[in-house]
Amino acid sequence: MRFSGERLPARILTDLALALRPPVEMLLNLAVRRAWRRSANAFGRLGRFQHRPYLIDPADLPVAFELTLSEDGGAVKVVRRVPRPNGYVAEISGGLIDLLALFDGSADADATFFAGGLTIYGDTGAVLALHNALEAANLRLADLLVPAALAPGLDPILQRIVDWRRATRRAGGEPHGVY
Protein backbone atom coordinates (compact mmCIF):
# COMPACT_ATOMS: atom_id res chain seq x y z
CA MET A 1 0.00 0.00 0.00
CA ARG A 2 2.99 2.30 0.29
CA PHE A 3 4.07 4.46 -2.63
CA SER A 4 7.26 5.79 -1.12
CA GLY A 5 9.01 6.65 -4.34
CA GLU A 6 12.03 4.57 -3.31
CA ARG A 7 12.20 2.86 -6.66
CA LEU A 8 10.58 5.42 -8.93
CA PRO A 9 10.73 9.18 -8.58
CA ALA A 10 7.58 10.52 -6.99
CA ARG A 11 6.79 12.59 -10.06
CA ILE A 12 6.72 9.53 -12.34
CA LEU A 13 4.44 7.73 -9.89
CA THR A 14 2.13 10.74 -9.86
CA ASP A 15 2.08 10.89 -13.68
CA LEU A 16 1.29 7.18 -13.85
CA ALA A 17 -1.53 7.57 -11.33
CA LEU A 18 -2.92 10.58 -13.19
CA ALA A 19 -2.96 8.53 -16.40
CA LEU A 20 -5.43 6.22 -14.65
CA ARG A 21 -7.60 9.16 -13.71
CA PRO A 22 -10.73 8.54 -15.89
CA PRO A 23 -11.77 5.13 -14.49
CA VAL A 24 -10.90 6.11 -10.91
CA GLU A 25 -12.86 9.34 -11.14
CA MET A 26 -15.79 7.50 -12.70
CA LEU A 27 -15.86 5.01 -9.81
CA LEU A 28 -15.58 7.71 -7.16
CA ASN A 29 -18.21 9.91 -8.77
CA LEU A 30 -20.59 6.95 -8.88
CA ALA A 31 -19.93 6.47 -5.17
CA VAL A 32 -20.73 10.11 -4.42
CA ARG A 33 -23.90 9.92 -6.51
CA ARG A 34 -24.96 6.75 -4.70
CA ALA A 35 -24.46 8.39 -1.30
CA TRP A 36 -26.29 11.52 -2.43
CA ARG A 37 -29.27 9.50 -3.71
CA ARG A 38 -29.46 7.55 -0.48
CA SER A 39 -29.43 10.61 1.76
CA ALA A 40 -29.81 13.77 -0.29
CA ASN A 41 -30.12 16.01 2.78
CA ALA A 42 -26.76 14.92 4.13
CA PHE A 43 -24.61 17.02 1.81
CA GLY A 44 -26.72 20.08 2.57
CA ARG A 45 -25.17 19.92 6.05
CA LEU A 46 -22.13 21.56 4.51
CA GLY A 47 -24.06 24.83 4.62
CA ARG A 48 -21.86 27.68 3.39
CA PHE A 49 -19.16 25.16 2.44
CA GLN A 50 -21.31 23.65 -0.32
CA HIS A 51 -19.69 23.97 -3.78
CA ARG A 52 -16.31 24.68 -2.13
CA PRO A 53 -13.50 22.28 -3.07
CA TYR A 54 -11.74 20.22 -0.38
CA LEU A 55 -8.43 18.46 -0.91
CA ILE A 56 -8.35 14.91 0.45
CA ASP A 57 -4.72 13.91 0.51
CA PRO A 58 -3.84 10.29 1.34
CA ALA A 59 -0.18 10.61 2.30
CA ASP A 60 0.60 7.12 1.05
CA LEU A 61 -0.78 7.62 -2.46
CA PRO A 62 0.99 9.53 -5.26
CA VAL A 63 -2.08 11.70 -5.96
CA ALA A 64 -4.76 13.53 -4.01
CA PHE A 65 -8.52 13.99 -4.50
CA GLU A 66 -10.54 17.15 -4.93
CA LEU A 67 -13.99 16.73 -3.41
CA THR A 68 -16.84 19.18 -3.97
CA LEU A 69 -20.28 18.50 -2.50
CA SER A 70 -23.64 20.25 -2.33
CA GLU A 71 -27.26 19.34 -1.75
CA ASP A 72 -27.49 18.90 -5.54
CA GLY A 73 -24.78 16.22 -5.65
CA GLY A 74 -21.02 16.26 -5.84
CA ALA A 75 -17.86 15.51 -7.78
CA VAL A 76 -14.44 13.98 -7.18
CA LYS A 77 -11.31 14.70 -9.21
CA VAL A 78 -7.93 13.01 -9.04
CA VAL A 79 -5.39 15.82 -8.76
CA ARG A 80 -1.71 16.55 -8.39
CA ARG A 81 -0.59 18.07 -5.08
CA VAL A 82 0.08 21.77 -5.44
CA PRO A 83 1.66 24.26 -3.03
CA ARG A 84 -0.51 26.47 -0.84
CA PRO A 85 -2.36 28.75 -1.18
CA ASN A 86 -4.25 26.66 -3.68
CA GLY A 87 -7.91 27.62 -3.42
CA TYR A 88 -9.08 24.68 -1.32
CA VAL A 89 -11.36 25.56 1.58
CA ALA A 90 -9.55 22.90 3.60
CA GLU A 91 -7.06 20.09 3.17
CA ILE A 92 -7.25 16.80 5.05
CA SER A 93 -4.19 14.61 4.95
CA GLY A 94 -3.50 11.23 6.52
CA GLY A 95 -2.97 7.59 5.75
CA LEU A 96 -5.41 6.05 3.28
CA ILE A 97 -6.66 3.53 5.84
CA ASP A 98 -7.41 6.26 8.39
CA LEU A 99 -9.15 8.42 5.78
CA LEU A 100 -11.33 5.51 4.63
CA ALA A 101 -12.24 4.72 8.24
CA LEU A 102 -13.21 8.34 8.79
CA PHE A 103 -15.28 8.54 5.64
CA ASP A 104 -17.36 5.51 6.53
CA GLY A 105 -17.69 6.59 10.17
CA SER A 106 -15.93 3.57 11.66
CA ALA A 107 -13.17 5.71 13.22
CA ASP A 108 -13.56 8.60 15.64
CA ALA A 109 -12.28 11.74 13.92
CA ASP A 110 -11.24 13.57 17.10
CA ALA A 111 -9.26 10.64 18.45
CA THR A 112 -7.55 10.07 15.10
CA PHE A 113 -6.68 13.74 14.68
CA PHE A 114 -5.46 14.41 18.19
CA ALA A 115 -3.36 11.23 18.17
CA GLY A 116 -1.57 12.60 15.10
CA GLY A 117 -3.24 10.46 12.45
CA LEU A 118 -4.56 13.41 10.45
CA THR A 119 -3.32 16.79 9.40
CA ILE A 120 -5.75 19.55 8.51
CA TYR A 121 -5.08 22.88 6.89
CA GLY A 122 -7.54 25.67 6.16
CA ASP A 123 -10.91 26.36 7.74
CA THR A 124 -11.46 24.03 10.74
CA GLY A 125 -15.20 24.75 10.50
CA ALA A 126 -15.19 23.45 6.92
CA VAL A 127 -13.46 20.24 8.02
CA LEU A 128 -16.02 19.73 10.77
CA ALA A 129 -18.90 20.38 8.36
CA LEU A 130 -17.50 17.83 5.88
CA HIS A 131 -17.10 15.25 8.62
CA ASN A 132 -20.67 15.76 9.77
CA ALA A 133 -22.04 15.66 6.20
CA LEU A 134 -20.22 12.41 5.43
CA GLU A 135 -21.37 10.87 8.73
CA ALA A 136 -24.95 11.76 7.92
CA ALA A 137 -24.59 10.25 4.43
CA ASN A 138 -23.96 6.85 6.05
CA LEU A 139 -21.20 5.96 3.61
CA ARG A 140 -19.90 2.42 3.63
CA LEU A 141 -16.43 1.36 2.56
CA ALA A 142 -17.85 -0.53 -0.39
CA ASP A 143 -19.54 2.66 -1.59
CA LEU A 144 -16.12 4.17 -2.04
CA LEU A 145 -14.19 1.24 -3.41
CA VAL A 146 -16.32 -1.02 -5.60
CA PRO A 147 -19.16 -0.82 -8.15
CA ALA A 148 -22.67 -0.73 -6.71
CA ALA A 149 -23.57 -4.27 -7.75
CA LEU A 150 -20.72 -5.73 -5.69
CA ALA A 151 -21.10 -3.41 -2.69
CA PRO A 152 -23.50 -5.38 -0.47
CA GLY A 153 -21.40 -8.53 -0.53
CA LEU A 154 -18.01 -6.93 -0.24
CA ASP A 155 -18.69 -4.33 2.44
CA PRO A 156 -18.19 -6.59 5.50
CA ILE A 157 -15.00 -8.04 4.00
CA LEU A 158 -13.55 -4.59 3.27
CA GLN A 159 -14.52 -3.40 6.73
CA ARG A 160 -12.67 -6.31 8.33
CA ILE A 161 -9.54 -5.60 6.29
CA VAL A 162 -9.51 -1.93 7.29
CA ASP A 163 -10.25 -2.69 10.96
CA TRP A 164 -7.48 -5.31 10.99
CA ARG A 165 -4.98 -2.94 9.38
CA ARG A 166 -5.76 -0.15 11.86
CA ALA A 167 -5.63 -2.54 14.82
CA THR A 168 -2.32 -4.10 13.80
CA ARG A 169 -0.80 -0.68 13.25
CA ARG A 170 -1.92 0.48 16.70
CA ALA A 171 -0.61 -2.70 18.32
CA GLY A 172 2.75 -2.26 16.61
CA GLY A 173 3.02 1.35 17.75
CA GLU A 174 3.07 2.63 14.19
CA PRO A 175 1.82 6.21 14.04
CA HIS A 176 -1.61 6.63 12.52
CA GLY A 177 -1.10 7.17 8.85
CA VAL A 178 1.68 9.71 9.02
CA TYR A 179 4.40 8.49 6.69
Task: Specify the DSSP element, H or E, that contains 76.
Answer: strand 73-79
Going across the sheet that includes 90-94, the strands are 73-79, 64-70, 54-58, 90-94, 118-122
Euclidean distance between CA atoms 172 and 168, whole angstroms:
6
Question: Does residue 49 bind other proteins (CB under 8 A)?
Answer: yes
Q: Of the ranges 23-31, 60-68, 101-109, 141-149, which one interacts with other proteins (CB under 8 A)?
A: 101-109
Question: Does residue 125 bind other proteins (CB under 8 A)?
Answer: yes
Euclidean distance between CA atoms 25 and 131, whole angstroms:
21
Beta carbon nearer to other proteins, 108 or 147? 108
Euclidean distance between CA atoms 30 and 147, whole angstroms:
8
Task: Specify the DSSP element, H or E, that contains 118.
Answer: strand 118-122
Query: Which of 25, 60, 71, 123 touches other proteins by CB under 8 A?
Result: 123
Residues 138-157 contacting other proteins, CB under 8 A: 138
Query: Which of 5, 47, 147, 153 touches other proteins by CB under 8 A?
Result: 47
Question: Does residue 130 bind other proteins (CB under 8 A)?
Answer: yes
Query: Which of 5, 108, 147, 164 touches other proteins by CB under 8 A?
Result: 108
Enter the DSSP assignment of 83: P
- Residues near other proteins (CB under 8 A) are 41, 45-47, 49, 105-111, 114-116, 119-120, 123-133, 135-136, 138, 175
